[in-house]
């Protein structure tokens, strides 16, 4: 992946948890406006990569610029320019869906009024539960609320960790529509997913991780049937 305007420019990113390296020397260049599938087996480093790029955790080695800002020296600016859908929802259980969005809106300096936020709940299918506490929500409803929060952030770089997880078929269509909307807005998207066929259809590029290493990179439609995780795919990294 190349291009003049890079939304993500990472070199040698590595991250260790105790004695285990979750990321090992990952380098990545993503042109602005590109939708990228990030795939690999469980524990391959997908979530760690997205969290490092979002500055939710720090890399032990390597450097990266996201939306033009260094993830070490300009972490605040990176967070301002990115939206992260994490594996865990990090919602306030005692607050309603609307109140959760209001907290996020105030933090972002956005309009926290009901009229400004209700359309996000309508778009994610939660308008009729706007006043209900999150503690009463199913896992899929929590995922929908987290997606509403991503839309609220309006990040130029959007990092989605298994966005289809815990959703029903209408929820899958919601995520499909979200990707289409983000692409139309010119956002750059990195989406970690195991749904290879969906990723091939919706994404421009793809990368595959295995034991923290980048083992395949190329056009999404060319991703091998095994998701690029077979050892024979090692030579294709950076293709």
DSSP code string of 62-107 = EEEEETTEETTTTHHHHHHHEEEE-SS----TTSBHHHHHHHHHHH
Q: What is the pLDDT of residue 2?
A: 47
How many C-beta atoms surround the C-beta of residue 108 within 10 A? 15
Q: What is the pLDDT of residue 226?
A: 75
pLDDT, tens digit (0-9, with 9 covering 90-100), for 51-80: 999 999 999 999 999 999 999 999 999 999
* Distance set, CA 48 to CA 71, 147, 194 (Å): 14, 19, 15
How much of the chain, in percent, has pLDDT values that exceed 70? 93
pLDDT, mean of residues 211-239: 74
Q: What is the DSSP letter of 239?
A: -
Q: What is the pLDDT of residue 1?
A: 56
How many C-beta atoms surround the C-beta of residue 23 within 10 A? 28
Q: What is the pLDDT of residue 228?
A: 67
Closest by Cα among 56, 86, 34, 36 to 214: 36
Contacts of 170 (CB under 8 A, 6+ apart): 125
Triad 161, 176, 221: Cα angle to 5°: 80
- What are the structure tokens assigned to 186, written together? 């010119």
| Residue position matching structure tokens 């298994």 | 162
Rg (CA), the chain: 18
Q: What is the pLDDT of residue 233?
A: 44
Least confident stretch, 95-99, 181-185, 228-232, 233-237: 233-237
Does the structure show a pLDDT above 50 at 3? no
pLDDT, tens digit (0-9, with 9 covering 90-100), for 75-131: 999 999 999 999 888 899 999 999 999 999 999 999 999 999 999 999 999 999 999
């Amino acid at each position: 992946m190349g291009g003049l305007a890079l939304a993500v420019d990472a070199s040698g990113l590595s991250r260790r948890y105790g004695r285990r390296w979750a990321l090992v020397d990952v380098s990545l260049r993503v042109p602005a406006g590109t939708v990228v599938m990030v795939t690999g087996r469980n524990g391959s480093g997908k979530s760690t990569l997205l969290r490092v790029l979002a500055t939710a955790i720090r890399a032990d080695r390597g450097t990266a610029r996201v939306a033009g800002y260094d993830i070490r020296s300009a972490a605040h600016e990176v967070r301002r320019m990115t939206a992260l859908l994490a594996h865990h929802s990090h919602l306030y259980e005692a607050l309603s869906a609307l109140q959760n969005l209001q907290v996020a809106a105030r933090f972002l300096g956005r309009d926290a009024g009901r009229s400004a936020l209700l359309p996000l709940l309508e778009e994610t299918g939660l308008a009729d539960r706007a006043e209900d506490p999150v503690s009463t929500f199913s896992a899929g409803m929590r995922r929908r609320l987290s997606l509403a929060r991503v839309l609220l952030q309006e990040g130029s770089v959007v990092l989605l960790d298994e966005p289809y997880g815990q959703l029903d078929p209408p929820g899958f269509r919601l995520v499909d529509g979200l990707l289409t909307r983000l692409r139309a807005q010119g956002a750059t998207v990195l989406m970690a997913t195991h749904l290879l066929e969906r990723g091939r259809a919706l994404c421009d590029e793809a990368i595959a991780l295995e034991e923290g290493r980048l083992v395949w990179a190329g056009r999404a439609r060319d991703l091998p049937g095994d998701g690029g995780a077979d050892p024979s795919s090692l030579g294709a990294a950076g293709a």
